[in-house]
Amino acid sequence: MGIRGSKSSQIYLDDVRLPADALLGEVGGGFRIAMSTLDGGRIGIAAQALGIGRAALEDSLAYAQQRRTFRQADRAAPGDRVQARRHGDRARRGAAAHAARAWLKDHKQPYGKEAAMAKLYASDVANRAAREAIQIFGGNGYVTEYPVERHFRDAKITEIYEGTSEIQRLVIAGYLTKGG
């Protein structure tokens, strides 16, 4: 449905044997490695979501400034501008928070909770921005001639991969109940 530039495939491995020197980490440590990989991926998904949200915002602002309805300029309604500003503010806050989480990872500090929070927040902002962009474009937001339908499709996946938004809430709750 979305991210058409990224080819996704399934692979199946049955009865695969590898030499001992192909082991990643320690025997029995696979779950920890997998979770660490997900945490790192969540930071990347948060960055992707922020980019999608920003593109939706910029495209809808540009469109609202130039669109024409019934042969007259139809400037963005005040409500559209207010909504766009709110999304811009959310995106800026999300970007600052994302930078802080990436800093934790770069400095080898624990960042699992923060990565889950960044992904959850950024994917929510991206999806709201994409929905609002569709509304600002009106009927044109639903056709492939304009970019916002792609932003809408691309934003959705950020709520799914590297753990759904519901899983992110469980991960965050788990950290919080442990005092983390």
Domain locations along the chain: 35-67+75-177
Q: Specify the CATH class of 35-67+75-177 in words.
A: mainly alpha
Question: CA-CA distance, 23 to 149, in Å (whole number)?
Answer: 43
User: What pLDDT does residue 94 have?
Assistant: 58
Please identify every stretch of the chain with a pLDDT value under 70, giving residue numbers as ranges: 67-105, 180
Question: CA-CA distance, 136 to 139, in Å (whole number)?
Answer: 9
User: What pLDDT does residue 147 have?
Assistant: 93
User: What pLDDT does residue 90 have?
Assistant: 62
User: What pLDDT does residue 97 have?
Assistant: 59
Active-site residue, from 114, 132, 149, 162: 162
Based on the residue annotation, tell me whether 162 is a catalytic residue of this protein.
yes
User: What pLDDT does residue 106 have?
Assistant: 72
User: What pLDDT does residue 155 have?
Assistant: 96
Give Cβ neighbours of residue 169 (< 8 Å, ≥ 6 apart). Answer: 120
Average of per-residue pLDDT values in the chain: 82
User: What pLDDT does residue 111 have?
Assistant: 79
From the centroid of its chain, how far is CA 69?
Answer: 33
What is the pTM (predicted TM-score) of this model?
0.74
Structure tokens that stand for 34 in this block = 């997998």
Local structure of residue 163 (DSSP, 8 states): S
Q: Where are the alpha helices (DSSP H) in the chain?
A: 30-66, 78-106, 112-137, 148-157, 165-177
